[in-house]
Structure 1
């Protein structure tokens, strides 16, 4: 047989088919456009979100690194620097502390030396600007404006000098004059004074000590499993005092990657189902046409070429339009919508969306592959049906529509049922093609589950969720004079009168004062001996045996504190204690909780043992408590951290036991969380005190602003992702149900011809929609929530408790119900406008 070049004819037929079937091809075009739009938008906005998440972590960590080691030996340094998987290493040395300046006697600022790598590479991404130069002379310092203000040095600038009381590595207090060589601003520890290498070398500190050395590691990889992290840690042969901590983004890198991969997979699956369903309806509806083409001699190969040509034209146009629409939404409309919704950017600035050229390639490849895969089955159907079968082809629902036995059984089953006829007809319609109904419900539930998961993650990473204080209080006020070593310099600042004025402020709901007293823990062979031996092994450079005799004979040289909390604070203490506390025993002063202080002691080692406390300066006044548990909560440390344990008891026990006790700090809870007006009143109260500089405070509102500044546009970008994902769950339903109703025109027309009213038809269609809505919401509420929980926990490196956000869930539910009810009504109304019942029956039958 001679070859016949009919490519030109096929091209003309493809163009002609596109013109003659504008409505059906428009549906396919829109399906491809929407899929390309969704994928492009999700990839673009998603990449931007994760970029902002990385920036947030850098800002919150104060630098770009993956792990930090406390204390570093030369052998460990050499091993890390020779490791090909470690990109950058930087060293920081704590070189003493500033305790006072000429204007403030209660300064608490560390002196830090940073090597060139840390300052110029690791810390640089977390800085906004630098003026001047990093210190080189022994008396030069680099500070922030906030640090100057906190030290009572506001108004000073580069080149100015100041005098400060500095405590070196030997514990000596030295009066020293410093010169400001530079200023900087950004993120991280902003109260510290960055000093020169010469200052560090003269300080008496050494980076091999845990109290001094901080060694930062930036790995040349994105993912590092827990086993790999443990193997790396073991390879360093850390000493007992040393510790290596991985940051949240590296410590949870693999779970986060898998969680994000799951979100992308489900999103892409929804897009695939959208294209597949619409294309199947479109091509299957033209099976009769393709069969008739075979009667005039067109081969199966030629039909494939014809369909391929049509899909290429429609797909190319849809992909191009989708990418253009996605660009407009991602870069123009999305930021505008976010602002219109009233989502505040605060200090974050404008919403910035990142463009990646690879996104276009990924979108084109995936949509093109989806078009190809989605059209294979319909094309195979068009080619395989004979001309005779195609002439009478109608879409068939159900597994065996021609089986008499099943039909009779179904008929008998329908006769025996009771209830609403309209509901039974709607339910029957769902059952006719269980596979298609299941696909609609599952695809919609998949989209809703992704939306639910994204909303939950966004809620957990919101600044208001990340920022927490002790007992979720809004402000913690501290008396810094009690941190001084000389008791003669202590002042009673948080007095009864001060607390009374504080409680009297209208926006203050509750005040939780924490009292403390100075104590000693006399030596005894059981608990005290065990504790001190472990303390020296963990924190001291000299063996316990060298000072054991002094501790036995002069325990007052090893002071500590006893802390008293109110009855209302006990439930929170229970939450952060590793054992169940007997409430009655604790409140009666029989038991206590001790602060673990990082020691390798377990509850089995200490719970049930007795700790004897003696009032400092009055060793004859002693009291014994039974240990009920240990806590790692740093809020209970007290003004100083001694060698013996910090003992936490009820406030009445401290008042009964210690004659000279003081309020060290007070937690304040507002009536309205983050109430700026109330906080300003409290700060005004503090500033009105003649000892205002001796107060310090930790504000949840200030922390919120700092986290919001660190997050930048991340919350807004995340909200954009959630808005886009909200469309995915319903687009497949809208398109599939619309096509389904179009293919049932003859069936619905026949029902109208035998007496079904418009109201009954609408009720039936709405009922079908409600069944789809109920099914998808049920799947989302069960499987979707379970998957959301698993993904959430895998990505929850900030350890925020899992909680499904009520607002997005309610809004999503109402929206889905409304859409599932409205779409069938609108599709049915459009169908009626096509003509009378007779005209619709004749049109579908081909008469």
Structure 2
């Protein structure tokens, strides 16, 4: 075949056809824009949230370096830093295990040295002043200075109470000049002090390497490293260590510990198929939504203009050229729709990201959604792919139609099937068996079934949004507030020393140290005297007890090796260590409960009657044992150290031994009834027995309930009290977790509702386009029906009935498919999340039914209104 240069002709034909389809172009462009908007929202939310969370996780991890090598000597550091795989490195040196100023009780402060070139990697931003140079100069964050009662200005002096090593009781008071004030991260309840290099020289002796002797990291070097990229960080660290002559095997003589920065998503997401599955499902949903409308628009357009394409075929236009004409038109619409969708979608997604972050563990984080090119490239590519897929079949139909088929085509006939599927029944033959075919309702139903493909696509696009919206409300209705709260809180309020709720926590391991971490009786008295108080009770706690190893017969399922019994944390083993007396003293904690907190226990095994439990505990011969649970609150059988009836012997603080029987096994109440350390052997007795064996100074916390109508005022009282009267005390309220729960529900509604609305608009556009095109392409048919006596009113009734049929079919599909989807997929999701209990919801689908019926009536009425003004003669002339 001879090749003819006809590019300009094809382009001219495409332009003429494009200009002749103004309504189609507008609807299709809007559809492409909305589809692009959906893709952009997903990409913006995904990348924006990931970027923010990664940044905040880096801050918690201490910096944005790829990895760190821990507890190095100077010699090890000098050897490792020369490895060729390292792109950038810096030493970080801890100069004191603790800063013990009482003002820092509620906000832990750490003291480090790292070189000035490494400040950006540690997110150290000086907002006033400059970096320290002398031994008595430091950087300090703004919040820490406020806690000390100082202005956020450089040049002031501060005195820090430094405990160089935790095993040393000596506290050194050192006065420094603050040469620079650094910005504090609102997402971290941690302050930072940065010393100069000169400080290391002046205090070289006290910063000697003592990791093996004392276990303290003070003076050792943490080497931060960056590689060329963040792929396979841990593997690179291990390779670097081995090639430098050291070992990565724990326990080896030349062992060096290292870990990858867990903030780097690229180092772990490839191992999380659920993340990819969720993202893939979202993209496929949008792809399907966009496909349904764009495909339907072009299919209807092709059917409407089928005679035009047939005429092109008669003058020699090939099928390939017809496809090119349609693709050019689609490209021009995408050229307008995609940029508009990218712009709108980015700003909508940018507005949603802060809402998502608020519901994460980083609600105080600064959210900055950058205009990442990947957002726009990804959304544009997916949108353009949707357009190409959607126009492929309509273009194929137009390309394959023969001139004869095009001239003889009537809506509902199969194109390209002449001579292949046998003789079609004539209209007269189809109506032979009908005795009431002239009724308007039957005519409307017959018209609807003439184009089953268009009807199916329109119904699906309308149904999709309603099913999605119903799913969103089903998910949120399945959120169980009681289950959620039970995991975190069992009473209205919990008060304790501020350390209990902070990083330092309450430990109860020393008779003197406990006086700085226990709850004050004056705080309890103030709470009990406050209007609205109902009931409460004290919880005592001490880790000065130890389970005698020879009194514990370990169950077979507890893992062990030649070194003893252990628990695993990732790849590391944490052994149950015996002290010199043969007791597991570092793995044992005893709690003493007054009546009210004792009533909060959840019995799993053994005696269940609370009154019997109280009486037997008072004898001093019995204990309650607490075992760990999973996220769903179910006991992990292989985590149980004891069963009801077991006999155990405890080593008491005074050195004596005492035998007990395990009366009851209860489920762990981590947030309400423990010191939040997760110790293996966790026992409970009543408060009086506890005080017989241990000092009443070991007062850990106090649980209380408040009258419902006075909770708000009571909460305000406790907040004010811990700020003005006893700032060393703290509290946690049920309201905090209620707010967390409500925020989580609102997030689902916000994000899911936004997607549902956009998809709903696309569905409505599809319906409007179908009705409009249906009316335009059937003008000749309507004129013929008028010529044989059918009135315009009857025609309008027929079109309205068609719209109502669309609505009724959609309602049926929605109710059937929505119910099935809810009972399968949503139920499975609910069963997989610990805070959800499946609850069937149908009201969003029912609420959409009248809206669909209104849409089914209003759209045909408004679309046919202009044509009602034309006379029969005008319509016949127009079609001629």
Q: Give TM-score scaled by structure 1 length.
A: 0.71
Aligned match for 1:298, one of 315, 340, 347: 315
Q: Per-residue CA shift, 1:321-364, capped at 9, x if unaligned?
A: 32443355346688799999xx9999989986533455555555
1:147-546 to structure 2, matched below 5 A, reads 147-148=144-145, 158-162=155-159, 164=161, 166=163, 168-181=165-178, 182-184=180-182, 185-186=184-185, 187-191=187-191, 193=193, 202=206, 206=210, 212=217, 236-238=248-250, 246=262, 249=265, 251-252=268-269, 254=272, 255-294=274-313, 297-301=314-318, 304-305=320-321, 308-309=324-325, 311-312=327-328, 314-326=329-341, 328-330=343-345, 354-357=370-373, 365-396=381-412, 436-444=454-462, 470-471=488-489, 476-479=494-497, 485-487=510-512, 490=515, 498-499=523-524, 501-502=526-527, 505=530, 513-516=538-541, 520-521=545-546, 523=548, 525-527=550-552
Name the one with the larger helix percent: 1
Partner in structure 1 of residue 649 of structure 2: 612
Q: How many residues align?
A: 810
Cα 1:179–1:360 change in 2 (3 A) is closer
Partner in structure 2 of residue 593 of structure 1: 625
CA contact (8 A) 1:769 1:820 kept: yes
In the aligned structure 1, how far is the partner of 2:717 from the partner of 2:388?
A: 67
1:550-565 to structure 2, matched below 5 A, reads 550=581, 561-564=590-593
Partner in structure 2 of residue 583 of structure 1: 608
In the aligned structure 2, how far is the partner of 1:72 from the partner of 1:454?
A: 52
Q: CA deviation at 1:769?
A: 1.4
In the aligned structure 2, how far is the partner of 1:567 from the partner of 1:94?
A: 44
Q: CA deviation at 1:446?
A: 5.2
Q: CA deviation at 1:612?
A: 3.2
Helix, strand or coil for the counterpart of 2:333? helix
In the aligned structure 1, how far is the partner of 2:749 from the partner of 2:838?
A: 16
Helix, strand or coil for the counterpart of 1:164? strand
In the aligned structure 2, how far is the partner of 1:128 from the partner of 1:805?
A: 49
Aligned match for 1:738, one of 769, 781, 797: 769
In the aligned structure 2, how far is the partner of 1:78 from the partner of 1:423?
A: 89
1:795-810 to structure 2, matched below 5 A, reads 801=835
Q: CA deviation at 1:664?
A: 1.9
Partner in structure 2 of residue 17 of structure 1: 17
CA contact (8 A) 1:113 1:194 kept: yes
Cα 1:227–1:68 change in 2 (3 A) is closer
CA contact (8 A) 2:443 2:798 kept: no
Helix, strand or coil for the counterpart of 1:173? coil
CA contact (8 A) 1:139 1:179 kept: yes
Helix, strand or coil for the counterpart of 2:624? strand
Aligned match for 2:141, one of 131, 140, 144: 144
CA contact (8 A) 1:37 1:322 kept: no
CA contact (8 A) 1:13 1:306 kept: no
CA contact (8 A) 2:593 2:684 kept: yes
CA contact (8 A) 2:67 2:234 kept: no
In the aligned structure 1, how far is the partner of 2:76 from the partner of 2:828?
A: 37
Helix, strand or coil for the counterpart of 1:326? helix
In the aligned structure 1, how far is the partner of 2:240 from the partner of 2:605?
A: 36
Q: CA deviation at 1:669?
A: 6.8
Cα 1:488–1:789 change in 2 (3 A) is closer
Cα 1:368–1:349 change in 2 (3 A) is same
CA contact (8 A) 2:467 2:845 kept: no
Q: Once superposed, what is the RMSD of the aligned Cα atoms?
A: 6.6
Q: CA deviation at 1:172?
A: 2.7
Q: Per-residue CA shift, 1:157-190, capped at 9, x if unaligned?
A: 6551325262624333333324254443114352
Aligned match for 1:775, one of 813, 823, 826: 813
Cα 1:830–1:256 change in 2 (3 A) is same
Helix, strand or coil for the counterpart of 1:380? helix
CA contact (8 A) 1:95 1:112 kept: yes
Cα 1:721–1:694 change in 2 (3 A) is closer
Residue 695 in structure 1 maps to residue 729 in structure 2: yes
CA contact (8 A) 1:80 1:86 kept: no
Helix, strand or coil for the counterpart of 2:489? helix
Cα 1:716–1:504 change in 2 (3 A) is same
In the aligned structure 2, how far is the partner of 1:159 from the partner of 1:430?
A: 82
Q: CA deviation at 1:30?
A: 3.9
In the aligned structure 1, how far is the partner of 2:104 from the partner of 2:25?
A: 79
Partner in structure 2 of residue 680 of structure 1: 716
In the aligned structure 2, how far is the partner of 1:113 from the partner of 1:364?
A: 46
In the aligned structure 1, how far is the partner of 2:95 from the partner of 2:669?
A: 26
In the aligned structure 1, how far is the partner of 2:762 from the partner of 2:718?
A: 52
Q: CA deviation at 1:278?
A: 0.6
CA contact (8 A) 2:45 2:352 kept: no
Q: CA deviation at 1:282?
A: 0.4
Q: CA deviation at 1:637?
A: 4.7
In the aligned structure 2, how far is the partner of 1:188 from the partner of 1:404?
A: 76
Cα 1:641–1:388 change in 2 (3 A) is closer
In the aligned structure 1, how far is the partner of 2:596 from the partner of 2:142?
A: 41
Q: Per-residue CA shift, 1:357-382, capped at 9, x if unaligned?
A: 55555555555554444334333323
In the aligned structure 1, how far is the partner of 2:145 from the partner of 2:349?
A: 41
Greater CA drift, 759-768 or 182-191 = 759-768
Q: CA deviation at 1:529?
A: 10
Cα 1:176–1:684 change in 2 (3 A) is same
